[in-house]
Amino acid sequence: MRELICINCPRGCRLKVDDDLNVTGNFCPRGVIYAKNELTHPVRTLTSTVKVQSTLERRLPVKSSQPLPKEKVFDAVKELDQVSVETPVHIGDVIIENVAQTGVNIVATKNIEK
Amino acid sequence: MIHHRLVIIGGGSAGMAAAIKAYELGEKDILILEKNNYLGGILNQCIHNGFGLHEFKEELTGPEFMSRFSKQVNELGIKYRLNANVLSMTKDKVITYSSEEDGLVEVKADAIILTTGCYERNAGAIQIAGDRPVGVYTAGQAQLYLNCYGYLVGKKVFILGSGDIGLIMARRMTLEGAKVLGVAELMPYSAGLNRNIVQCLQDFNIPLYLSHTVKEVRGKNRVEKVIIAKVDEKMQFIPGTEMEFDCDTLLLSVGLIPNNDLFNNLGIKFSKTRGAVVNQDMETEIPGIFSAGNVLHVHDLVDYVVSEAREAAVGAVKYLSKTTKHAGFAYEIKQGFGIGYVVPQVLNIDDASDKVSFKFRVAKPFKDIVINIKEGERVLKKIIKPAIVPSEMEIVYLPKEIFQKEDHTITVSVEEKK
């Protein structure tokens, strides 16, 4: 039996998972997915910023479009340092494809027009 | 002097949500005054995700969340002035603001909603002993430097206070190459959300020292050492429990305070939240002046800020259409045993909408309790809670018809099971 705190939302459910990966203590179905992932291949959404060539802003906030394998997060951050984005850039624009060979894209989370 | 029917001071999430709601209810003569050169307020620097689960049923980052509101403000053509710093407001609803573009401007409003957010408690507010070197920042300051300007404020960091911004910054600075040595929390429980303890501290093996606080900061020019120690129940240092950390930065995440400066000269009452005393419409003691969001009380989630701002907008539109009576049966709402605060503090039931919201926090963590909302001795609502902590605000909506107008006091209190 393992005890986990679900990180999907601010509610922070206290989950219990038995050896056969049966989950209890979850308020919503996302808790089950979280607990199974956490005990087999933990994933995290990455948020950070990259350089932007803009007259308005110095940094463009970005996120991973999907959660990344937890052990790949630092590799992904390193790739972000290599990027300098041109404007205009809009929410959802792909900044890095297949970051750290994870199959996940890094996308912009802010509109910067110039 | 220019005139607008509704002026909203502060163009963050609360101000934009209030403006959009008022517009949808038919009030078209709105002006938002925003001191920065962008709408969206503090969410611009909150680049992490976790916003909007209630509002949009999806998980957004701060800039994504606020851009949905600013887009709507622009599409509806709601007027706003950026770089507009409000200097004062009067009981007669005359607002003075200054801006490079407009100069010094007086605006007469028929109704005002104050949505100016909150600010961080800083080093001066908590009286840390020791030297006064460079390298002591509030967590939000460090967040602004890192997320908006691209500067990391330190390489070896200790954090005082387990508020969510401090926890979020522990992760952010770690990802950007800093070493976060630990987080000290004065109370025996965390002030932040459990999910942030897990994903911001445990993920990176950052220790959390509960019932500990900073005893001394040392450093000639820059921070060189932070000494923490354990405290007893009376918050006194326990000798022999000191721990030393060699670091160059101390981040403070020790609480947020409603930014009520503009209310200071109006002579209105403030509540335990350090925001204004308000009624069910988020209206202060001065009819037609409203307050909502973190300036009223500090919220956990922007989703709740937005919904409260809409309640204020509904109230403002009612006031402007002269349907608010400010008369009839009034309740005083009190916090009973175990409750830290309740919003609102006044309920004019004859002016209320179909549902009345009560927002409150417990004063300390409890397990297996019942929370009672009573009119006099009559129970209006019982809420059973297996566990509850002060960092989680509760919201309860009660239908208007359950209020019997028999006793002028409503009390929210904790009942411990025997």
Instruction: Count CB atoms within 10 A of the CB of residue A41.
Output: 10
Instruction: Indicate yes or no: CB of B300 within 8 angstroms of CB of A57.
Output: no
> Is the domain of A31 the same as that of A53?
no
Tokens of A19: 């050896």
> Is the domain of A65 the same as that of A104?
yes
Instruction: Indicate yes or no: CB of A44 within 8 angstroms of CB of B63.
Output: no
How far is Cα of residue B238 from the mean position of the Cα atoms in its chain? Answer: 33
Share of chain B above pLDDT 70, in %: 100
pLDDT tens per residue across span B121-148: 998 888 889 999 999 999 999 999 999 9
Read off φ and ψ for residue B86, nearest 5 degrees. Answer: -80, 125
Structure confidence at residue B88 as a pLDDT band (50, 70, 90): very high
How far is Cα of residue B21 from the mean position of the Cα atoms in its chain? Answer: 20
Q: Which of A110, A111, A112, A114 to mutate to test the interface with B (most CBs of B within 10 A)?
A: A110
Q: Which amino acid is at B76?
A: L
Ranking B40-49, B92-101, B175-184, B383-392 by mean pLDDT, the lowest is: B383-392
CA atoms within 13 A on the CB side of B397: 8
- Domain extent for A80: 47-108
pLDDT tens per residue across span A73-114: 999 999 999 999 999 999 999 999 999 999 999 999 999 999
pLDDT tens per residue across span B188-239: 988 888 889 999 999 999 999 999 999 999 999 999 999 999 999 999 999 9
Tokens of A9: 């939302």
Question: Cα(first)–Cα(last) distance of chain B, in Å?
Answer: 63
Read off φ and ψ for residue A26, nearest 5 degrees. Answer: -85, 140
Inter-CA distances, A77 with A101, B195, B386, Å: 13, 22, 40
Contact residues on chain B for A9, CB-CB shorter than 8 A: 50, 53, 59, 195
CA–CA dist B313, B159 (Å, integer): 38
CA–CA dist B73, B79 (Å, integer): 8
Start-end of H helices in B290-332:
302-320
Partner residue opposite B148 with nearest CB, options A5, A14, A59: A59
pLDDT tens per residue across span B291-309: 999 999 999 899 999 999 9
Contact between B137 and B153 (Cβ < 8 Å): yes
> Is the domain of A36 the same as that of A69?
no
Place of tokens 């607008």: B4
> Is the domain of A68 the same as that of A103?
yes
> Is the domain of A75 the same as that of A104?
yes
Cα B144–Cα B63–Cα B53 angle in degrees, nearest 5 = 120
Contact between A5 and A26 (Cβ < 8 Å): no
> A113 lies in a domain?
no
Contact between B57 and B65 (Cβ < 8 Å): no
Residues in chain A: 114
Classified as helix, coil or strand, B164 is helix
pLDDT score of B9 more than 90: yes
Query: pLDDT at position B271, please?
Result: 94
DSSP state of B200: I
> A114 lies in a domain?
no
Query: pLDDT at position B70, please?
Result: 97
> Going from the N-terminus, what domains does chain B have, and what CATH number goes with each?
1-120+256-324 (3.50.50.60), 122-254 (3.50.50.60), 328-418 (2.60.40)
> Is the domain of A70 the same as that of A17?
no
Partner residue opposite A12 with nearest CB, options B48, B176, B195: B195
